[in-house]
Amino acid sequence: MVSDGCKEHLDDRSHGMTKNQAVAITSILIAVGYAGAAVFYSDLIGLNIDFLNLCPVCPEIFSFGSPLAKFIGQTILFGTLNAILLAAGEWAVIGVVAGLRRFWPCSS
């Protein structure tokens, strides 16, 4: 049974995040996904940034074309995949945490 203090606490709290907050989180995760791919392929445009773990889905691809064209194409293609997986993974974590919060008793 829920005590009066706990019930008031539950009534006062927000029942989730707003649509704007969800859009902001998703936008940030998508931007990080594309940035990870851009950093991974940055050596094609003369920047040698060694953070290979930023895009776990990005393979080393040897293809024809100018370095800039390869950088743009591979960043868009694998950045999209990276962003989808990053956003899905992070939203799964948020969902698990939100689900587990139901099992914790109220704290004043």
Tell if the pTM clears 0.85, that is, is over it: no
Position 37 in a domain:
yes
Range 72-87 burial, b when 16+ CB lie within 10 A, else e: bebbeebbeebbeebb
Q: Which domain range does residue 43 map to?
A: 23-67
Quick check: is 43 in a domain?
Answer: yes
| Structural domain total, the chain | 1
Residue 56 is assigned to a structural domain of this protein: yes
Distance between CA atoms of 90 and 101, rounded to whole angstroms?
17
Q: Report the number of secondary-structure helices (H) and strands (E) in the chain.
A: 3, 0
End-to-end CA distance of the chain: 16
pLDDT (tens, 9 = 90+) of the chain, 108 residues, equals 444 445 544 444 445 778 898 899 999 999 999 998 888 888 888 887 776 677 777 877 777 788 888 889 889 999 999 999 999 999 999 888 888 887 776 654
